[in-house]
């Protein structure tokens, strides 16, 4: 039987820096959704990847003194490594530097130009390098980028433009005819009211101010700008190329995409620019674009400049991969921004994973071993309590599917954990430890234990898209292979089978101790970054200017403290051809006897100055700010030599 296809993509991550937790949320959510659809019987293709061209990357590579390709190779590997660490089950990882992608992009640009959708012009406006976006004067907010708040640069350059307005009415009709195309609803209203109704401007689709990009074949001083390059990955990753006489089977099978899962900040590009490009290429539009909210650190947007960036791999060291996945998926609302704090992670981890899920599994496996020698018992007569537990499991699965089909991931998890809470309550209601004291109530105990084991199995089946590694461990402890959504009916767990060895799923975290550790690590990292920060330095001077500074070697022949001046020492320096008096603010770091006889470097042509009434005729060289270190020379260095 042929499965129904489901093609799911994330936005491709920009390969400029290591992705923070907010970036990583997208691939975790998309992975959970891909796993859910596989469990529902779909033939899923899940694609993610990296966007690797642009001015920002070219600038960063130049700073690092390496080629842009070497730079993106490193960052793309880091991004892919984090996606893999998060147990992401993508089917394909595309890079926009892949040969097949670049070739297809060249052909797409040619096709759009040849059919009159792209024309040459010039652009003059404001450009934000981090966002890789152009803005008009009126779009700026306080003279800065309206998206990220950073500085913008006045830019004028020759460019090719895409005729957006040509397709605007057609796009508006598509959105009206397909009300679920843009989700959540608030994102759709924003696109219509803020962009489509006011009228679309033609879109800049090439650049000449940098060369790290896909060249325009018929005008090679231009490189293809991000929109045609990056957005096309969704079809080139399936083998699409307009030069193909027949598009490959992969493209024919999976396109159109069933959903693009993206951040709310790039909804405009995916619901206006991208659909219009597809219309121009005569390709069907994706069925849905879901713009998820952001993760903020507390109340603030996560950003390196604010010093509040959290990384998924560092969280995984403290909470485990499934701990990170669960927090990300359970904490992000459907439409509004989510908030991450270490306190909230610990609370969710302890309450939901350690107490609710972990404790339920641990207690039930332990009781199975204690009361039935580790053998899954045969259930007996059903009571009202048993029926209520079974109904709760069935209802949780129904609600799970309804909520997941609507992309309400956090709400779906709430339903599952409510079911697990009901199972924990069932233990308190049935009191297995009391039933075990009387032989006559052992059949009832068998039913209770069986029902608990089965509730755990069904809970793990439902949770498998969200915390897959944990669920695999639960199935191992239950010694069952009934782990698909086809097996959520109550009563399928086989009696007479031995359970596996117990293993703690989630150890409870000491909040105070962990927060102290995190703060200690933060301060150490801050100190390390402070030490390694590149200093601002002074204005650059030419060789002629530097040659005006006369540096000479000298020997300290006398040194004494300056009365009433705690910081100053008075030194007598032998230059070989004369003796100079120099006053230096190094008394905090050196005693006079530490300096007498030492060879130093002095600025010999510095104008005389008076310090505390004492004339100083030069300056000795030293390094450091908080701790000063005089530069000493070899004892055999002749006095008066020119230092070059």
pLDDT, tens digit, 9 for 90 and up, residues 374-395 = 999 999 999 999 999 999 999 9
Query: Mean pLDDT highest for which of 294-303, 353-362, 578-587?
Result: 353-362
pLDDT at 613 over 90: no
Q: Which long-range contacts (CB under 8 A, 24 or more apart) does 614-618 make?
A: 614/562, 614/568, 614/570, 614/581, 614/583, 615/581, 615/583, 616/581, 616/582, 616/583, 616/584, 617/580, 617/581, 617/582, 618/573, 618/580, 618/582
How would residue 523 be classed by pLDDT, with cut points 50, 70 and 90?
confident
In angstroms, the CA 591 to CA 59 distance is 48
| Prediction pTM value | 0.80
Whether residues 346 and 481 share a domain: the answer is: yes
User: 442, 459, 487: which is the final residue of a domain?
Assistant: 487
pLDDT value of residue 17: 92
Whether residues 348 and 477 share a domain: the answer is: yes
> Does the residue 560 lie in any domain?
yes
Give every CB contact of residue 551 below 8 A, 6+ residues apart in sequence. 601, 602, 603, 604, 621, 642, 643, 644
Whether residues 434 and 550 share a domain: the answer is: no
> Does the residue 633 lie in any domain?
yes
Neighbour-count burial of 240, counting CB atoms closer than 10 A to its CB (0-12 exposed, 13-18 middle, 19+ buried): buried
How would residue 625 be classed by pLDDT, with cut points 50, 70 and 90?
confident
Q: What is the CATH number of the domain that holds 451?
A: 1.10.730.10
> Does the residue 38 lie in any domain?
no
Whether residues 354 and 452 share a domain: the answer is: yes
pLDDT digits (tens, 9 = 90+) for 44-72: 999 999 999 999 999 999 999 999 999 99
Whether residues 462 and 576 share a domain: the answer is: no
The tokens for 403 are 């909520």
Whether residues 461 and 553 share a domain: the answer is: no
Whether residues 362 and 481 share a domain: the answer is: yes
Whether residues 363 and 470 share a domain: the answer is: yes
pLDDT value of residue 536: 58
How would residue 131 be classed by pLDDT, with cut points 50, 70 and 90?
confident
Query: Mean pLDDT highest for which of 309-318, 459-468, 580-589?
Result: 459-468
Q: Nearest-5° angle of CA 137, CA 143, CA 148? A: 105
Mean per-residue pLDDT for 424-444?
Answer: 97
Q: Which residue reads 């018929």 in tokens?
A: 218
Mean per-residue pLDDT for 21-46?
Answer: 96
User: What is the percent of the chain where pLDDT is above 90?
Assistant: 77
> Does the residue 126 lie in any domain?
no
Whether residues 565 and 472 share a domain: the answer is: no
Q: What is the CATH number of the domain that holds 552?
A: 2.40.50.140
pLDDT value of residue 497: 97
Mean per-residue pLDDT for 149-170?
Answer: 90
How would residue 611 be classed by pLDDT, with cut points 50, 70 and 90?
confident
| Average pLDDT score over the chain | 92
How would residue 321 be classed by pLDDT, with cut points 50, 70 and 90?
very high
Strands 259-263 and 5-10: parallel
User: 487, 505, 524: which is the final residue of a domain?
Assistant: 487
Dihedral angle sign, alpha carbons of residues 253, 256, 259, 265? positive
User: 461, 487, 513: which is the final residue of a domain?
Assistant: 487
Whether residues 557 and 635 share a domain: the answer is: yes
Whether residues 477 and 381 share a domain: the answer is: yes
Mean per-residue pLDDT for 397-423?
Answer: 98
Cβ contact 19:270 at 8 Å: no
pLDDT at 130 over 80: no
Domain that holds residue 611: 543-643
Nearest to 620 by CA among 559, 566, 531, 562: 559
pLDDT at 540 over 80: no
In angstroms, the CA 341 to CA 344 distance is 5
- φ, ψ (nearest 5 deg) of residue 181: -60, -45
> Does the residue 110 lie in any domain?
no
> Does the residue 234 lie in any domain?
no
pLDDT value of residue 537: 58
> Does the residue 379 lie in any domain?
yes
> Does the residue 115 lie in any domain?
no
Whether residues 356 and 437 share a domain: the answer is: yes
**3-state class (DSSP) for residue 105:** helix
pLDDT value of residue 301: 57
**At what angle are helices 99-114 and 274-281 packed, to 10 degrees?**
70
Number of domains in the chain: 2
pLDDT at 305 over 70: no
Nearest to 275 by CA among 412, 149, 388, 162: 162
């Amino acid at each position: 039987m042929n499965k129904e296809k489901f093609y799911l993509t994330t936005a491709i991550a920009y390969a400029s820096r290591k992705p923070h937790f907010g970036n990583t949320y997208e691939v975790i959510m998309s992975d959970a959704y891909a796993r859910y659809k596989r469990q529902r019987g779909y033939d899923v293709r899940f694609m993610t990847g990296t966007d690797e061209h642009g001015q920002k990357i070219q600038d960063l590579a130049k700073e690092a003194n390496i080629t842009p390709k070497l730079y993106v190779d490193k960052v793309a590997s880091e991004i892919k490594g984090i996606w893999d660490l998060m147990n992401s089950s993508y089917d394909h990882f595309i890079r926009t530097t892949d040969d097949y992608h670049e070739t297809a992009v060249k052909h797409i640009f040619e096709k759009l130009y040849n059919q009159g959708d792209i024309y040459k012009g010039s652009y003059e406006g404001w450009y934000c390098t981090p966002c890789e976006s152009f803005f008009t004067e009126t779009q700026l907010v306080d003279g800065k980028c309206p998206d990220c708040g950073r500085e913008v640069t006045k830019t004028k350059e020759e460019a090719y433009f895409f005729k957006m307005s040509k397709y605007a009415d057609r796009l508006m009709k598509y959105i009206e005819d397909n009300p679920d195309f843009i989700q959540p609803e608030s994102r759709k209203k924003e696109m219509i009211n803020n962009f489509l109704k006011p009228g679309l401007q033609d879109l800049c689709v090439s650049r000449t101010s940098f060369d790290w990009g896909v060249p325009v074949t018929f005008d090679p001083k231009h490189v293809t700008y991000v929109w045609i390059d990056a957005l096309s990955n969704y079809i080139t990753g399936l083998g699409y190329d307009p030069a193909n006489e027949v598009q490959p089977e992969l493209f024919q099978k999976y396109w159109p995409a069933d959903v693009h899962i993206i951040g709310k900040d790039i909804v405009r590009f995916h619901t206006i620019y991208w659909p219009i490009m597809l219309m121009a290429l005569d390709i069907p539009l994706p069925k849905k674009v879901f713009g998820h909210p952001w993760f903020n650190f507390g109340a603030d947007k996560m950003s390196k400049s604010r010093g509040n960036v959290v990384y998924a791999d560092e969280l995984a060291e403290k909470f485990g991969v499934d701990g990170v996945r669960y927090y990300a998926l359970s904490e992000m609302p459907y439409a509004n921004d989510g908030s991450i704090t270490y306190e909230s992670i610990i609370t969710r981890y302890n309450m939901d994973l350690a107490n609710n899920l972990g404790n339920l599994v641990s207690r039930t496996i332990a009781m199975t071993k204690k009361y039935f020698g580790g053998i899954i018992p045969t259930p007996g007569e059903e009571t009202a309590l048993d029926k209520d537990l079974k109904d709760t499991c069935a209802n949780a699965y129904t609600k799970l599917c309804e909520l997941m089909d609507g992309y309400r991931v956090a709400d779906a998890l709430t339903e599952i954990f409510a079911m697990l809470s009901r199972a924990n309550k069932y233990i308190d209601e049935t009191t297995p430890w009391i039933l075990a004291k009387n032989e006559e109530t052992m059949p009832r105990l068998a039913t209770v234990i069986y029902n608990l084991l089965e509730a755990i199995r069904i809970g793990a089946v439902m949770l498998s898209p969200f915390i897959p590694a944990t669920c695999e461990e639960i199935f191992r402890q239950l010694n069952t292979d009934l782990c698909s959504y086809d097996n959520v009916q109550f009563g399928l767990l086989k009696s007479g089978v031995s359970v596996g060895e117990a293993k703690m799923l989630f150890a409870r975290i000491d909040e105070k101790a962990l927060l102290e550790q995190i703060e200690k690590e933060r301060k150490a990292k801050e100190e390390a970054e402070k030490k390694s920060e590149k200093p601002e330095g002074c204005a650059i001077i030419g060789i002629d200017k530097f040659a005006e500074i006369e540096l000479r070697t000298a020997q300290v022949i006398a040194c004494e403290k300056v009365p009433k001046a705690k910081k100053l020492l008075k030194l007598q320096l032998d230059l070989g051809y004369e003796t100079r008096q120099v006053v230096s603010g190094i008394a905090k770091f050196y005693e006079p006897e530490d300096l007498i006889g030492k060879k130093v470097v002095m600025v010999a042509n510095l104008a005389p100055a008076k310090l505390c009434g004492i004339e100083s005729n030069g300056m000795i060289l030293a390094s450091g700010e908080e701790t000063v270190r005089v530069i000493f020379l070899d004892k055999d260095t002749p006095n008066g030599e020119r230092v070059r």
